[in-house]
Amino acid sequence: MFSTVLIANRGEIALRIARACRELGMRTVAVYSTPDRDSAVVRFADEAVHIGPAPSKASYLNIPAVLEAALLSGAQAIHPGYGFLSEDPDFAEVCEANGIFFIGPSARVMQQLGDKAAARAAMAEAGLPVLPGSTTALSGPAEAKETAQQTGFPVILKAAAGGGGRGMAVVRDPDDLSAAFQETRAHAYAVFGDDRLYLERYIDDARHVEVQVLCDRHGSAIHLGERDCSVQRRHQKLVEEAPAPGLSEELRTSICEAAVRGARAVGYVGAGTFEFVLTPSHEFYLMEINCRLQVEHPVTEMVTGVDIVREQILIAAGLPLSLRPGDVVPRGVALECRVNAEDPARDFAPAPGRLTEFVPPSGPFVRVDTHALPGWQVGPDYDSLLAKTVVWAPDRDQALARMDRALGEFRVAGEGVSTTVDFLRRILVRPEFRAAEHTTGLVAKVLDADE
């Protein structure tokens, strides 16, 4: 077992990981950039190491700085959280080369699944349904056009190295494909340092359903059920729910079993998420695989009682899974709403500023994962997430009522600071959401209604 774990992240997820480590009796080391020097995890951790100035490339993405912090602090393992270095195979290799355990899958698996085009091919070979599209990265606009003609419009262009909803473009008109290809390729290179793109058929009125898996080094692989993540803006999630509402037991079983089959096919180890698109006719297709902890992991924890971060750490330490498929029986319904420092009226533009008031909700079966405090400076350099509000209830109606009550209790104020709280409450009362008939187009409908 590890005695010291370095947390290569910031914000609420760094604090979440630190708490899990402390419960396991492990010493924690936080890393921080200059603007994060007074952050919650720095105050909570046993040790904190400064790794650079505000830009991520100079701090949280600076592999030599993170590695040096681990070596100097005596950390045996590094937990990368999500984002930043969490899906970087080079970082995992560097950790291994220096005798430090990377809490996540191997560099080989991350390399294979991090390349979205290669992951599609591997999962198709494993028998998972994948959307029609290119089987390898596209050579240019001409090949994209030829593939799109075979696939049919609309299509979506995606960065092969992408993730987190970035590096994507939906194309509905063939005449727009060439320009969209060039623009998306340039964006992919700027964000990921890799300009390769692939193409898939785009499904209108789709739902986004994903499956949480846990796999150990001893050949055991299980799923913890599925989540619905269909409420999105710019392909990034705002509301998540477990279990996904409105699925038949047969469909639920098929999706979850497909995820486990895919994980086994590539020798996956750790916590991972298989993301699927669900058509209006209830056909499902694999979109991508995330080789890391997800922002929305709390909803799965709330309905299963499984501490996913704890399991990640134990798996990385070489312990076998203590859970078997029959041990995981989801109970009730959990919802998560992401409270971001964004202005929905300005296309969710970031709204940074210093918090003069920050009072999260509480009460029965309410969980708030946050790093924010009164006086905290919400800066422009990082993700705008302020807090994840999570509720649990025995059924969906009670969960919706509890979430509305919780969001209504939130008090956030600051010069220049706007949040998504009121917008989230408008989502929750939409009839299609109440009826579990919502799709990835719901946010656009709510915005259109505001105009």
Q: What is the pLDDT of residues 17-49, one digit of tens each?
A: 999 999 999 999 999 999 999 999 999 999 999
> What's the start-to-end Cα distance of the chain, in Å?
56
Beta pairing class for 47-52 and 342-343: unpaired
Beta pairing class for 4-7 and 221-233: unpaired
Least confident of 159-168, 269-278, 327-336, 337-346: 159-168
Token digits of residue 16:
């979440």
Check: CB of residue 230 under 8 Å from CB of residue 210.
no
Q: What percent of the chain has pLDDT over 70?
A: 99
Residue 294: strand, helix, or coil: coil
Contacts of 84 (CB under 8 A, 6+ apart): 8, 9, 56, 60, 61
Least confident of 159-163, 361-365, 404-408: 159-163
Catalytic site residue from 292, 338, 367, 402 = 292
User: pLDDT tier at 116 (50, 70, 90 boundaries)?
Assistant: confident
User: pLDDT tier at 58 (50, 70, 90 boundaries)?
Assistant: very high
Instruction: Return the amino acid letter for 258.
Output: A
Among 293, 126, 144, 129, which residue's Cα sits nearest to residue 224? Answer: 293
Token digits of residue 167:
């590096």
pLDDT of residue 136: 85
Between CA 419 and CA 351 the distance in angstroms is 8
300 pLDDT higher than 90: yes
The owner of tokens 């910031």 is 10
Backbone angles phi, psi at 101, to 5 degrees: -75, 130
Instruction: Return the amino acid letter for 309.
Output: V
pLDDT of residue 192: 83
Enumerate the H helices of 193-330 as residue ranges.
Answer: 249-265, 297-304, 308-316
User: pLDDT tier at 164 (50, 70, 90 boundaries)?
Assistant: low
Check: CB of residue 423 under 8 Å from CB of residue 446.
yes
Residue 168: CA count within 13 A, CB half-sphere:
18
Residue 226: strand, helix, or coil: strand
Backbone angles phi, psi at 103, to 5 degrees: -85, 85
pLDDT of residue 235: 83
Contacts of 291 (CB under 8 A, 6+ apart): 86, 87, 104, 105, 109, 110, 113, 114, 268, 270, 272
The owner of tokens 């089959």 is 261
Give me the count of residues in the chain: 451
Token digits of residue 390:
């999570």
50 pLDDT higher than 80: yes
Beta pairing class for 270-278 and 284-290: antiparallel
Is residue 402 annotated as part of the catalytic site, yes or no? no
User: pLDDT tier at 160 (50, 70, 90 boundaries)?
Assistant: confident
Between CA 374 and CA 152 the distance in angstroms is 51
More reliable by pLDDT, 47 or 449: 47
Please name each of the domains of the chain with its CATH number.
4-103 (3.40.50.20), 132-201 (3.30.1490.20), 207-450 (3.30.470.20)
Token digits of residue 298:
């709390």
Question: With helix as H, strand as E and coil as C, how does 49-96 read?
Answer: EEEECCCHHHCCCCHHHHHHHHHHHCCCEEECCCCCCCCCHHHHHHHH
More reliable by pLDDT, 119 or 397: 397
Which pairs from 115-120 meet CB under 8 Å and 24+ separation? 115/160, 115/161, 116/158, 116/159, 116/160, 116/161, 116/162, 116/163, 116/198, 116/288, 117/160, 117/196, 117/198, 118/160, 119/288, 119/289, 120/198, 120/286
270 forms bridges with which residues in the sheet? Answer: 215
Query: pLDDT digit string (tens) for 341-381?
Result: 999 999 999 999 999 999 999 999 999 999 999 999 999 99
Q: Is the peptide bond before 374 cis (omega within 30 degrees of 0)?
A: no
Q: Is the peptide bond before 89 cis (omega within 30 degrees of 0)?
A: no
pLDDT of residue 451: 61
Query: pLDDT digit string (tens) for 221-277?
Result: 999 999 999 999 988 999 999 999 999 999 999 999 999 999 999 999 999 999 999
pTM beyond 0.85: yes
